[in-house]
């Protein structure tokens, strides 16, 4: 018995070794170092002296950090809410269809989701191009017949990037909603329509309450994802005006890699870290609550 216990341990350690090595080196160690670095006045690479909470105080009074915080929230509102609502509408529409029609429609909405962000960036840069973009055909009449450089117009920048993001990620939400809709037994609808319930009543009394948990799931996933926004915002603002719009990861990038302020960047990272972990714990609790039912 003792021997088999020992061989079980040995096998376990052998199987866990790659995991322990990778997580130790690339997750636990950098996390601890990040927290330590946030208390130092350090450049990106090199030694810095211990300054306690000074980096956090500086963040608190830094207008650019405040801007990055509010712009991130603004972007989250602009991208998450439309993408969840629109995805539910699309899922209801696609779910009614059958066979190849359904597959084709689903593919149309889902294909953008698997594209690399750089490709999405190139496509929409071309769509919105100031001189030759097709979208200018719609924009010009709204702008006194003048073409408009959307991504160089500051008030339009984040809404436009949010629009692109909704286009890019909608398919993911649609997929989860369709899975949720398929889990609703057809018999419930049949029984309801025998009782004379109309479409709206069926949606309000059956579909909506049963799809609600999926809605919460999609919403929290998108919320956490969009708080980490960097790629699109960075790509579309490349070569443009400086700091008119900035999101949190962009702020971290700027402090660390452009201004060489490792300590301050680490402090900003800790803030983002705490924000997202808090939201993730909430999401995990929601998922567990669903699983328990």
Q: Which of residues 178-237 bind another protein (CB under 8 A)?
A: 179-180, 199, 214, 217, 221, 224, 227-228, 230-231, 235
Is residue 90 at the binding interface for another protein, with CB under 8 A as the rule?
Answer: yes
Region of 58-66, 73-81, 145-153, 176-184 interacting with another protein (CB under 8 A): 176-184
Burial tier of 75 (Cβ tally within 10 Å: 0-12, 13-18, 19+): buried
Q: Which two tokens stand for residue 21?
A: 């090595």
23 binds another protein (CB under 8 A): yes
Q: Which of 186, 215, 187 is nearest to 95 (CA)?
A: 186
Instruction: Please work out the total of residues on this chain that contact another protein, with binding judged by CB under 8 A.
Output: 93
The token duo for 46 is 């090199």
Query: In this chain, which stretch among 61-69, 73-81, 127-135, 147-155 interacts with another protein, using CB under 8 A?
Result: 127-135
Q: Residue from 50, 60, 70, 126 that binds another protein (CB under 8 A)?
A: 126
Query: Which distant-in-sequence residues (6+ apart) come within 8 Å of 155 by Cβ?
Result: none
**CA dihedral for 89, 115, 236, 275, sign (positive or negative):** positive
Q: Cα(129)–Cα(152) distance, rounded to whole angstroms? A: 11
Q: Quick one: 152 or 228, whose CB is closer to another protein?
A: 228
> Contacts with another protein in 32-51 (CB under 8 A)?
33-34, 37, 44-45
Burial class (CB in 10 A: 0-12, 13-18, 19+), 155: exposed
Look-up of token digits 């200018």: 136
Rg, the chain, Cα only:
24
Report the DSSP beta bridge partners of residue 40.
50
Q: Which is nearer to another protein, 112 or 245 (CB)?
A: 112
137 counts as binding another protein under rule CB under 8 A: yes
Instruction: Provide, rounded to whole angstroms, the least separation between the CB of residue 136 and another protein.
Output: 10
Nearer residue to another protein within complex by CB, 220 or 245: 220
Looking at residue 240, the DSSP 8-state letter turns out to be: S
What distance in Å separates the CA atoms of residue 6 and residue 55, rounded to the nearest whole number?
Answer: 49
Half-sphere exposure of 38 (CA within 13 A, CB side): 20
Show contacts of 288-293: CB within 8 Å, 24+ apart. Answer: 290/213, 290/217
Kindly state whether residue 132 participates in binding another protein, applying the rule CB under 8 A.
Answer: yes
> Which among 94, 79, 85, 73 has a CA at the least distance from the CA of 215?
85
Which residues, numbered 155-174, are part of the site for another protein (CB under 8 A)? 167, 170, 172
Of residues 249 through 268, those in contact with another protein by CB under 8 A are: 249, 252-253, 256-257, 262, 265-266
Subset of 106-125 contacting another protein (CB under 8 A): 107-112, 114-119, 121-125
Kindly state the smallest distance separating residue 116's Cβ from another protein, in Å: 4
Instruction: Compute the least distance from the CB of residue 265 to another protein, in Å.
Output: 5
Residue of the chain from 150, 161, 169, 175 that contacts another protein (CB under 8 A) = 175
Smallest gap from Cβ 187 to another protein, in A, equals 19
Q: Which of 119, 191 has the CB closer to another protein?
A: 119
């Amino acid at each position: 018995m003792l021997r088999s216990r020992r061989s079980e341990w040995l096998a376990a350690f052998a199987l866990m070794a790659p995991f322990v090595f990778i997580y130790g080196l690339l997750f636990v160690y950098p996390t601890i170092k990040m927290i330590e670095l946030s208390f130092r006045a350090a450049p990106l690479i090199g030694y810095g002296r211990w300054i306690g909470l000074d980096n956090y105080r500086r963040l608190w009074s830094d207008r650019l950090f405040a801007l990055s915080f509010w712009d991130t929230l603004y972007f989250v509102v602009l991208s998450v809410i439309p993408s969840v609502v629109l995805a539910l509408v699309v899922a209801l529409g696609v779910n009614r269809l059958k066979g190849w029609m359904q597959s084709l429609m689903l593919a149309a909405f889902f294909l953008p989701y698997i594209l690399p962000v750089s490709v999405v960036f190139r496509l929409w840069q071309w769509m919105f191009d100031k001189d030759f973009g097709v979208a200018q055909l719609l924009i010009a009449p709204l702008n006194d017949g003048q073409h408009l450089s959307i991504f160089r117009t500051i008030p339009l920048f984040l809404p436009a990037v949010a629009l692109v993001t909704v286009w890019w990620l909608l398919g993911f939400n649609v997929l989860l909603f369709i899975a949720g809709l398929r889990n609703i037994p057809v018999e419930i609808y049949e029984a309801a329509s025998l009782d004379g319930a109309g479409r709206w009543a069926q949606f309000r009394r059956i579909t909506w309450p049963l799809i609600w948990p999926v809605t919460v799931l999609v919403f929290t996933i998108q919320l956490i994802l969009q708080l980490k926004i960097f790629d699109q915002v960075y790509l579309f603002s490349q070569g443009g005006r400086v700091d008119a719009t900035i999101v949190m990861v962009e702020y971290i990038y700027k402090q660390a890699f452009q201004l060489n302020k490792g300590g301050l960047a680490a402090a900003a990272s800790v803030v983002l870290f705490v924000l997202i972990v808090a939201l993730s714990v909430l999401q995990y609790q929601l998922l567990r609550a669903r699983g328990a039912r």
